[in-house]
Amino acid sequence: MNGHLILLLHAHLPYVRHPEYEYSLEENWLFEAIRETYIPMLDTLEGMVNDGISPNLTLSISPTLTEMLNDSLLRNRFIRYMDNLIELSEAEKKRTARSAFEPLASLYNTMFKQIKKLYLDRYKQDLVSAFRNLQDEGHIEIVASAATHAFLPVFENYLDAVKAQIEIGVKSYIHNFGRQPSGFWLPECGYFKGIDSLLKDVGIRYFFVESHGIIHGSPMPVYSIYKPVMSPTGIMVFGRDFKSAQQVWCASRGYPGDPSYRDFYRDIGFDLPLDYISRFTHLNMRTFTGIKYYRITGNTEYKLPYNRVNAMKTALEHAMHFIGSRESDIKRLLEFDFCPVIFSAFDAELFGHWWFEGIEWLNIMIRKIHQSSSVLDIITPGRYFSEHANFNDIQSIKLSPSSWGEGGYSSIWIGQRNHQFYRHLHKMIERMEILKNLATDHRLPATMMQRAINQAMREMLLAQASDWLFLIQKGRASEYAEYRIKKHVENFNSLFSMIMKGNLEEPLLRSMEESNNFLKDKIPMANSLLSF
């Protein structure tokens, strides 16, 4: 008997698209993630497959992210973004000639060119299909998530809104990945009593919660978080392992904070003159370029130059340490005469973006487990259930309300800085119910009425994104986050007022449809719900 590791990477970004601007700082969030995380991850996973290793990685890819990856405007802007970075790295090669940083400038230049080549030649600008192909071939498993990554517990008293987030998320998944999803990632692991019933209604077989969602459940779980439990509605639930999470995620005590790794914040976009940087970024402000010459060094402003060879040696050491820790956990758990499963989950963007060496760490770790571990294998939830088909011994538990993140009980998304927005978010839901009942009203032409109600639904869903509330509470890009919520509320209220008066300004509606075109042409009104 051996044990299993389920490794889930949650890929998500908020929906950001600004056709009204030639260059947008916030669109770079997507471009950075494509360059540093999604393409390197695909390349790494495909490399394993080519070497006869099935990575068995589990991914969740949010609907907002899939829509942005599929958007032609953003695809073209990503190519332009890469061209600008290649040009910047060429300039850096000249500027750093005969200095200690010249090899790093050349490294970035090579990386940028390779990323662009992969995007155009191998993936044909279609990363969603590349992930879909890996799933179709049985090498990864992709689970669904909510439509716009809303933190669902804050809408517990508005179950129709929660249902809409879940149903649209599942339909988006089916549209993009060509199959019914078995699993579901609750945004921010936000669980409240009864949400499992809504998941069951759309055919979900399992979902995931933070560790204390199970540990504080009733009755006490016999196997803690090391075996899935069954919710009252009969859906399987995995609890996130806090020990492995801390080893990988924690910047102060985990692997990414090691002094030999590259320092994320020391970017030439902040170190070099703005007039030099802006020639390539086309933004008259400081921003990250991805070109970083220093290692973390320690808790000091004085940073030592980054050494790629030493960083890779450290990544190997950390991969072996992670494997050793999980093997030790499995051996200890096997003494209790059951087959343990460790569920470890992280934001996908940690790997490659925040933690530059994270993709290499992942590659080494998965390959080493495949090649040499005798007590541990990586498994997807689907494989786990197919290999453990007898669920008679699965314990039924009433789960505890919970979330991941600071505090573990929703405080990040219902905090001192962001709580005032909920009266507006809740009012939009109440008004949306009024609009749904007007879907067949003749105060506007049928086509115009459908467009207007659809766009109101989009504005409501986009305003609900957990990202804006997180950024406001943490004080990061808070001005933009506040702007986004307020703009979606303003758009919704304008549409609501015009529909109620029967006097719609079509140019204004068209402008909203162009800017906030989430699931455009895929969501006609049906059964009082946006659906495919």
DSSP reduced 3-state for 12: coil
Task: Say which DSSP state 414 is in.
Answer: S
What class has domain 3-387? alpha beta
Tell me which of 188, 210, 241, 360 is the catalytic residue: 188
Tell me which of 347, 377, 441, 482 is the catalytic residue: 347
**Nearest 5°: CA angle at 156, between 472 and 227?**
95
- List residues bridging with 343 in a β-sheet: 6, 240
Where exactly are the structural domains of the chain?
A: 3-387, 419-530
DSSP reduced 3-state for 511: helix
Residue 122: how many CB atoms within 10 A of its CB? 12
Q: Is 467 annotated as a binding residue?
A: yes
Residue 308: how many CB atoms within 10 A of its CB? 15
Per-residue pLDDT tens listing for the chain (532 residues): 789 999 999 999 999 999 999 999 999 999 999 999 999 999 999 999 999 999 999 999 999 999 999 999 999 999 999 999 999 999 999 999 999 999 999 999 999 999 999 999 999 999 999 999 999 999 999 999 999 999 999 999 999 999 999 999 999 999 999 999 999 999 999 999 999 999 999 999 999 999 999 999 999 999 999 999 999 999 999 999 999 998 998 877 899 999 999 999 999 999 999 999 999 999 999 999 999 999 999 988 899 999 999 999 999 999 999 999 999 999 999 999 999 999 999 999 999 999 999 999 999 999 999 999 999 999 999 999 888 766 678 999 999 999 998 889 999 999 999 999 999 999 999 999 999 998 888 888 899 999 999 999 999 999 999 999 999 999 999 999 999 999 999 999 999 999 999 999 999 999 999 999 999 866 543 343 444 3
DSSP reduced 3-state for 411: coil
CA distance 144 to 185: 6
Active site residue 188: yes
Largest Cα–Cα separation, the chain: 74
What class has domain 419-530? mainly alpha
Is 392 exposed, middle or buried, given 0-12, 13-18 or 19+ CB atoms closer than 10 A? exposed
Contact 64, 14 (CB under 8 A): yes
Prediction pTM value: 0.96
Task: Say which DSSP state 377 is in.
Answer: E
Q: Is 404 annotated as a binding residue?
A: yes
Give me the pLDDT at residue 522, please: 63
Q: Residue 458: name the closest of 506, 523, 528 by CA.
A: 523
Cis peptide upstream of residue 305 (ω within 30 degrees of 0): no
Active site residue 347: yes
Give me the pLDDT at residue 126, please: 98
Q: Is 257 annotated as a binding residue?
A: yes
**In this structure, which amino acid lies at residue 434?**
I
Structure tokens at 148: 């716009």
Q: Is 468 annotated as a binding residue?
A: no
